[in-house]
């Protein structure tokens, strides 16, 4: 008598994932965390490194403050262009947004450049790039601080 | 008014300083352990320099 082994038909059914569980964090707590994240992001933008310092990430805070400060000091020392609010074209306005990203260092850069920018030489052109980089880097750091506060990043 | 010093940097030192500063900032932002940070910073720095010099060489024929 042959063994009758029951044949199991392969099924193409995919196990259904359990429905998304309700968010364990209450709405009030979420709103409080969002408000805190925005505050920390604003602080991180205003003073580079402050957002991470408030989150007790001392190494990151120190490095961010130092790098943004160094880029601004170098950029201003190389007589880079600090874009103003009254930009003539889209590039100037974009440059203003990038420069303003450095927070308080935007005004420090203006104070460090008593003779104004000189972009007629390559030196000044590099300085413009360093100033813009300082701003964009600080905006990235502020976004990182925001994400950390919302517990999306480590 | 804050007294300041005017810096005169040529192409290569400006690129090296830029690459170093950005690599350090990226390394600290994106990695947590000291070893992984150091490795990331080194790799990022080397790649910044290599790509910068590579683009410079690629543009060289168009400038002559």
B22 occurs within a structural domain? yes
Q: Give yes or no for residue A103 having a pLDDT over 70.
A: yes
Backbone φ and ψ of A49, nearest 5°? 95, -20
% chain A with pLDDT above 70:
82
Query: Domain residues for B30?
Result: 17-63
At CB < 8 A and 24+ separation, what contacts does A73-76 make?
Answer: A73/A112, A73/B4, A74/A127, A74/A130, A74/B7, A74/B9, A74/B17, A75/A109, A75/A127, A75/A128, A75/A129, A75/A130, A75/A131, A75/A133, A75/A134, A76/A108, A76/A109, A76/A112, A76/A113, A76/A127, A76/A131, A76/B4
Q: How many domains does chain A have?
A: 1
Q: What pLDDT score was predicted for residue A113? A: 80
A131 occurs within a structural domain? yes
Q: How many domains does chain B have?
A: 1
Count of CB contacts below 8 A, A vs B?
A: 58
Task: Compute the 3-state secondary structure of chain B and give helix, strand, coil in percent, each to the nearest 5.
Answer: 80, 0, 20
A8 occurs within a structural domain? no
Which chain A residues touch B9 with a CB distance below 8 Å?
74, 78, 123, 126
Q: Where is average pLDDT lowest: A6-20, A27-41, B24-38?
A: A6-20
Q: What pLDDT score was predicted for residue B3? A: 54
B21 occurs within a structural domain? yes
Q: What pLDDT score was predicted for residue A122? A: 84
Is the Cβ–Cβ distance between B52 and B14 less than 8 Å?
no
A64 occurs within a structural domain? yes
Which chain A residues touch B1 with a CB distance below 8 Å?
111, 114
B25 occurs within a structural domain? yes
Q: How many helices (H) and strands (E) does chain A have?
A: 6, 0
B33 occurs within a structural domain? yes
B9 occurs within a structural domain? no
B1 occurs within a structural domain? no
State ipTM. Answer: 0.85
Q: Give yes or no for residue A76 having a pLDDT over 60.
A: yes
Mean pLDDT score across all residues of chain A? 85
Instruction: For residues B44-64, give the mean pLDDT.
Output: 92
B5 occurs within a structural domain? no
Query: Domain residues for A137?
Result: 30-149
B6 occurs within a structural domain? no
Which chain A residues touch B5 with a CB distance below 8 Å?
77
Q: Does B57 touch chain A (CB under 8 A)?
A: no
Instruction: For residues B23-34, give the mean pLDDT.
Output: 94
The whole-angstrom distance between residue B28's C-alpha and the CA centroid of its chain comes to 15
């Amino acid at each position: 008598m042959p063994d009758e082994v029951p044949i199991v038909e392969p099924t193409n059914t995919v196990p259904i994932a359990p429905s998304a569980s309700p968010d364990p964090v209450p709405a009030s707590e979420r709103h409080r965390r969002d408000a805190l994240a925005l505050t920390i992001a604003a602080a991180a933008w205003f003073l580079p490194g402050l957002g991470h310092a408030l989150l007790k990430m001392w190494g990151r805070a120190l490095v961010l403050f130092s790098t943004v400060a160094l880029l601004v000091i170098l950029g201003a020392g190389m007589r880079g262009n600090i874009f103003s609010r009254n930009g003539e074209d889209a590039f100037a306005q974009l440059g203003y947004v990038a420069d303003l990203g450095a927070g308080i260092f935007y005004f420090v850069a203006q104070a460090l450049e008593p003779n104004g920018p000189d972009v007629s030489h390559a030196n000044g052109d590099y300085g413009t790039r360093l100033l813009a980089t300082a701003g964009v880097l600080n905006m990235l750091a502020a976004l990182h601080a925001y994400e950390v506060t919302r517990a999306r990043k480590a | 008014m804050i007294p300041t010093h005017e810096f005169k940097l040529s192409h290569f030192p400006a690129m090296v300083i830029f690459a170093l500063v950005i690599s350090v900032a990226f390394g600290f932002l994106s990695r947590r352990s000291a070893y992984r940070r150091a490795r990331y910073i080194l790799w990022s720095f080397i790649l910044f320099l290599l790509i910068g010099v590579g683009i410079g060489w690629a543009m060289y024929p168009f400038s002559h």
